[in-house]
Structure 1
Amino acid sequence: MTDCGCEKARRDLEEYLRDEVCKTEHTDIAEHLAKCPACRDEALVAKTLTEVVARACRETAPEQLRDQVLARLRTAQAHH
């Protein structure tokens, strides 16, 4: 196991977080993140952002709000 360095860790960060790198690369990046606060912070931001976006994609608008938006869109389309 070797420290892969900041450049590789940051380049492959998204794949690492999604578990899409081979076991060796995963180990190397994990080792780097353990030693590099800047890359670890970047990984935390990326992971948090991914989780927030995923959670937002599962949420749905209240039915009344959705109906209001659709009604306004229909009105706007009718006037154009």
Structure 2
Amino acid sequence: MSDEECCESVRTESLMRIYHYLDGELTTTEIREISVHLEQCPSCHDEYEIEALLKELVRRSCSHDRAPMGLREKIRQRIALEQNTMPGI
């Protein structure tokens, strides 16, 4: 299977794994697996590079702004309201 076939056949899964990889949400085994895959698959490596740059840009752009006072409490109240009104949560 070529690199292109590898990634095109499981495009959504590959992107989700890249997102989880960037966010540090994988196990040690999964990190090793995706690291090896990124070294061997130019298509996924390119996607990883793009997503990593985008994540860094967002981090730098948003790190200087402070949320308005009281926003955290409003969010907590909204979550509590949603949890009370939605069954199964």
Q: Which TM bucket (shorter chain)?
A: 0.5 to 0.7
Aligned residue for 1:39?
A: 44
Output the CA distance in 1 between the equivalents of 2:61 and 2:49.
Answer: 18
Q: 1:4-43 alignment to 2 at 5 Å? A: 6=7, 7=10, 8-43=13-48
Output the CA distance in 1 between the equivalents of 2:58 and 2:23.
Answer: 14
What amino acid sits opposite 1:59 in the alignment?
H
Output the CA distance in 2 between the equivalents of 1:17 and 1:11.
Answer: 10
Question: How far did 1:18 drift?
Answer: 1.6
Question: How far did 1:12 drift?
Answer: 1.1
What amino acid sits opposite 1:42 in the alignment?
E
Unaligned runs of 5+ in 1: 61-80
Aligned length: 56
What amino acid sits opposite 1:27 in the alignment?
R
Question: How far did 1:58 drift?
Answer: 1.9
Aligned residue for 1:57?
A: 62
TM-score normalised over the length of structure 1:
0.62
Deviation above 2 Å: which 4+ runs of structure 1? Answer: 5-11
Identity in percent: 34
SS at match of 2:26: coil
